[in-house]
Chain A
Amino acid sequence: MAVGALSAHEVPLQAATRVQSRRRAVRRFKLSLLLPLILLFLFLLTPVLLLQLYFSFHQWTVYLGSWWDADFVGLDLFQEVLTDPRFGWAVVRSLAFATGSTLGCFVFGFLLAYLMYRPFRGQAVYYIIFILPMLTVPVVVAYTAEMMLYQSGPINALISAILGVDFKPAWLTNPDIALATVALLEIWNWTPFSFIILLAGLSAIPKEPIEAAEILGASKWRIFWEVQLPLLRPVILLALVLRFLEAMAEFPKTWALFQGGPGSATETLPVYIFMTTWQYFQISKGAAMSYIVMVMMIVIVLIAIHLLRREKHSLDKMYEVRKDAEG
């Protein structure tokens, strides 16, 4: 009887420890999966961000001796940056550049994707040609542009020949259009990106609602606005958001082609930060500027993430409903 009592007491205990040890093993396994990410954050990202913070509050340039005993200046650097008109203009230029090129990529990408989402003869060839610009390195785009856009270069010659007028804008030297030149290059370079995801989105739209609308006699135009476009919303948002963020960070083309010039016509945020840090060696001012830009971008990214998640959830829900209806 004593034996029976003992085992009755022990069995659940054993089971409990087994569950516990299993849980511990799972936890250890999860941790080992996460380890590389944690290490990268601890030893690469965190020190860099802390250094950045340090420099934003301590006045230091390369001429001032060792950086670790730089003077604490409080918020002076932030004040300096925020009252610097060049910084303000850089923000304006960056926003204008990003907005313009994002819309450009979107419009062309959408047009191409809409014309191509249904199979037709030659589709594969067009697809290959259309993605090529994305597969050229940005620096290469800049130098190729330089070879083509000088005033008596092939682009102006071709456009003049086609239009029959003397078309001679100074793409590379006129400060009024320099930023637009970079934006055009950005559009050329990255329209394939918008094209690819919009094409994937359009092809992924289920056929049934479109067919149903066609049977009901809806015009193409109405099907587009009332069926395809709403279903495409997540992808459209993605195309706009990612492109905008990448355009805000655009550096290689702007720098390789213009280095901020002519005058300061192409001084976008990345370019201005780069110049402050690596040409004027105002490390601290550059750091303060970087911090402001980082905070600004984090806000934009958080909003973007919020929107993207919302779209993803509604998409998930829609597919669940569909699965239920099918199953």
Chain B
Amino acid sequence: MIITKSRRRLISASVRYVILTVWAVVAFFPIYWMVSTSFKPSTQWFSWPPVYFPDPPTLSNYMNVWLGTEEYDTAQYAISSQTPLISLWNSAVIAFSSTFLAVGFGSVLAYGVSRYRILSEVRMFQLLMLRMIPPIVVVAPLSLYYSALGLLDTRIGLIMVYFLTTLPYAVWMTKSFIDEVPREVEQAAEILGASRWRTVVEIVLPLIRSGLVATFLFILILTWSEYLLALIITKTQVSTLPIELSKYQGSTEGRVYGRQAALAVGITIPLMIVGLIIRKHLARGFSFGMVRR
């Protein structure tokens, strides 16, 4: 049988759709399961056969976890000294401040690298080490150092560490945007008598506004979901959402999947929104100048 060209194209297109759809199901099912479990009454959290659609859907998990309106399973609540809403606030403050610092100072640094070569290319790569060396290797001395400074269990402490660890990404990513700004703009500003700092802050950075927003959101994803450093540095006063979620694990009364899921959905939704907003810029954040357009 002769396979015509159009026929072959049809076959290859359908093969493509089949593979992509299979992976889409694989990628999406766990997320679906998390969301659906968060709406399930407790009898369906852990039943056989598994319940795929909550019946009837209930908001009680959300009420319980986020607002504390329904009855508490006391043992479990006792481990956590604060409600998730406070953790949400902590997470937001810590993630936003550290990201703001990283992008703010990172973009200025990136400007220096792009125009004045204040860091050579080797140094730029070495800067990445801050990100590439596993943080676990410094957490013990870090926590002792912090306790000596009184920074343990404070927001400032966590903010500073996140600032340091996300700075490399901020510098690399903003540099890729600054490199695209023509130098003529700055030369014009210089001729008009603007100081160097004014040139950076009032001319160059506004020109890469959308790039700065993309970088900001990209780093927000990292700081929002960080776990290990938060686990070490925060104890009782300040805890972030990922830590709050992990407290459910110590619960003695068995599986409380619905509540875990309700909390997990709350943690994940903001991240997904942010990620989808900057989906076109994700490659740039990860590629360190290796992908050209």
Binding site for B on A (CB under 8 A): 25-26, 29-30, 32-34, 36-37, 40, 44-45, 47-49, 51-52, 55, 67, 108, 111-112, 115-116, 120, 122, 126-141, 143-148, 150, 152-154, 157, 188, 191-193, 196-197, 199-201, 204, 234-235, 238, 242, 245, 248-249, 251-252, 256, 269-270, 273-274, 277-278, 283, 286-287, 290-291, 293-294, 297-298, 301, 304-305, 308-309, 311-312, 315, 319
Contacts and interface: CB of A to CB of B under 8 A. Distances in A.
21 contacts: A29-B196, A51-B144, A115-B20, A132-B28, A139-B225, A139-B227, A139-B246, A140-B264, A143-B260, A143-B264, A144-B30, A148-B30, A196-B283, A197-B286, A199-B283, A252-B242, A274-B228, A286-B140, A293-B137, A294-B137, A301-B128
A78 to B, nearest CB: 14
Contact of B24 (A55, A126, A278): A126
B50 A238 contact: no
B49 A34 contact: no
Given A36-B109, A137-B271, A188-B26, A47 B145 contact: yes
A129 B267 CA distance: 18
Contact of A308 (B129, B221, B224, B290): B290
B140 A55 contact: yes
Contacts of A204: 291-293
A252 B230 CA distance: 11
Interface string B157-183: 000110110010000000000000000
Contacts of A126: 20, 24
A55 B142 CA distance: 12
A248 B20 contact: no
A67 B288 contact: no
Prevailing SS type, chain A contact patch? helix
A201 B140 contact: no
Contacts of A245: 132
Interface string B16-27: 110110011011
Interface in B247-293: 248-249, 257, 260-261, 264, 267-268, 271-272, 274-276, 279, 282-284, 286-293
A188 B167 contact: no
B121 interface: yes
A37 B134 contact: no
A108 B164 contact: no
A301 B129 contact: yes
Contacts of B164: 40, 44-45
A36 B105 contact: yes
B290 A309 contact: no
A239 to B, nearest CB: 9
A67 B276 CA distance: 48
Contacts of A301: 128-129, 132-133
Contact-residue size bin, chain B (C-beta under 8 Å from the other chain)? 35 or more
B122 interface: yes
A166 to B, nearest CB: 14
A53 B79 CA distance: 35
B89 interface: no
Prevailing SS type, chain B contact patch? helix
A143 B144 contact: no
A249 B134 contact: yes
Contacts of B283: 196-197, 199-200
Interface in B21-70: 23-24, 26-28, 30-31, 33-34, 37, 45-46, 48-50, 52
B118 interface: yes
Interface in B171-228: 196-197, 221, 224-225, 227-228
Interface in B111-154: 111-112, 116, 118-119, 121-122, 125-126, 128-130, 132-142, 144-145
Given A131-B275, A132-B31, A51 B141 contact: yes
A131 B118 contact: no
A200 B286 CA distance: 10
A129 B24 contact: yes
Contact of A136 (B50, B140, B271, B290): B271
B108 interface: yes
B3 interface: no
Contacts of B268: 135-137, 140
Nearest to B292: A204
Given A143-B245, A147-B260, A277-B140, A252 B293 contact: no
Contact of A128 (B16, B30, B135, B276): B276
A251 B141 contact: no
